[in-house]
Amino acid sequence: MVTRKVLFFFLTICSVSGFAQTDHEKQGMQALMKGDFRSAVSVLEKADLNTPNNINVVKMLSYAYYQTGENKKSVTSYSKLLSLKSDDASAYYYRGKARLNIANDPKEAQSTLREEFYLAAIKDFTKAIELNSDNEIQYYQNRGIAYKDYGVFKSYSIKKPTDKVAVVNIFNNSIKDFQKILVAQPLRKDIIDLEKYVKAQITSLK
161-198: burial string, b at 16+ Cβ within 10 Å, e else: eeebeebbebbebbbebbebbeeeeeebeebeebbeeb
Orientation of helix 189-205 relative to helix 136-155, angle to 10°: 20
Q: What is the CATH number of the domain that holds 67?
A: 1.25.40
**Global pTM value:** 0.89
Both 93 and 186 in one domain: the answer is yes
Mean pLDDT along residues 4-26: 59
CA dist 2 and 140 (Å) reads: 25
Confidence (pLDDT) at 5: 56
Both 60 and 117 in one domain: the answer is no
Domain end marker among 85, 104, 127: 85
Confidence (pLDDT) at 112: 84
CA dist 187 and 184 (Å) reads: 9
Neighbours of 6 (CB within 10 A): 17
pLDDT digits over 92-124, tens only? 999 999 999 999 998 877 778 999 999 999 999
pLDDT band at 24 (very low <50, low <70, confident <90, very high): confident
**Inter-residue contact 17 to 55 (CB < 8 Å):** yes
Confidence (pLDDT) at 204: 95
Both 101 and 80 in one domain: the answer is no
Both 99 and 190 in one domain: the answer is yes
Which amino acid, one-letter code, is at 97? K
Question: Is the per-residue pLDDT at 15 higher than 50?
Answer: no
Domain that holds residue 14: 1-85
Question: Is the per-residue pLDDT at 2 higher than 60?
Answer: no
Domain end marker among 40, 55, 85: 85
CA dist 23 and 20 (Å) reads: 10
Confidence (pLDDT) at 16: 46
Both 48 and 11 in one domain: the answer is yes
Report the domain count for the chain.
2
pLDDT digits over 149-176, tens only? 999 999 999 999 999 999 999 999 999 9
Both 36 and 137 in one domain: the answer is no
In the 3-class helix/strand/coil scheme, how is 42-69 assigned residue by residue? HHHHHHHHHCCCCHHHHHHHHHHHHHCC
Both 108 and 138 in one domain: the answer is yes
